[in-house]
């Protein structure tokens, strides 16, 4: 039995991609807060589309007023931060549209945010999007999928408590 099948047989959590693009290791993120996994383990996507979707079923814990990031607590307690781009908080909400609010229940695939990636890049920002498991220490295993192109909802992380 493969490790992945064994992981699922034990009731692991699967996190989907919140955005279409190229899945890369979180260690490729140049910001050390993400790349050195200070906030937690995870993955990153270099997005090719402007829509950011819920990666799991759960509740919106926080939507940053600038629209550059959203945190979701999964129904199983998984805490996920989706951070669109690096240092994009400095855009003060420009080029971002928020579609959810704190405490809102969401299903995997629900639209959370939109980001005008071309405008964000034109303003000089890196659009790489880290997806961080903020309560990584609660899991015995966090496995990221290998580098590949992903569509919203495609499996990117597998977690085991």
Annotated catalytic residues are 83
Work out the number of other CB atoms within 10 angstroms of the CB of residue 3: 11
Strand partners, 45: 23, 129
Cβ–Cβ < 8 Å for 118, 62: no
Cβ–Cβ < 8 Å for 113, 25: no
* Most distant CA pair in the chain, distance: 49
Residue with tokens 């079923």: 57
């Amino acid at each position: 039995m493969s490790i992945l099948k064994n992981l699922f047989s034990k009731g692991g959590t699967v996190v989907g991609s919140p955005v279409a693009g190229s899945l890369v290791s979180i260690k490729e993120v140049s910001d050390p807060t993400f790349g050195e996994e200070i906030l937690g383990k995870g993955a990153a996507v270099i997005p090719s589309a402007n829509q950011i979707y819920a990666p799991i079923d759960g509740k919106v814990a926080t939507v940053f007023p600038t629209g550059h990031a959203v945190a979701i607590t999964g129904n199983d307690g998984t805490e996920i931060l989706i951070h669109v781009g690096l240092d994009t908080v400095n855009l003060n909400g420009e080029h971002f549209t928020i579609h959810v609010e704190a405490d809102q229940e969401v299903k995997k695939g629900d639209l959370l945010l939109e980001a005008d990636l071309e405008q964000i890049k034109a303003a000089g920002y890196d659009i790489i999007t880290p997806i961080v498991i903020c309560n990584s220490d609660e899991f015995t295993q966090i496995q990221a999928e290998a580098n590949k192109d992903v569509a919203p909802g495609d499996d990117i992380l597998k977690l085991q408590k």
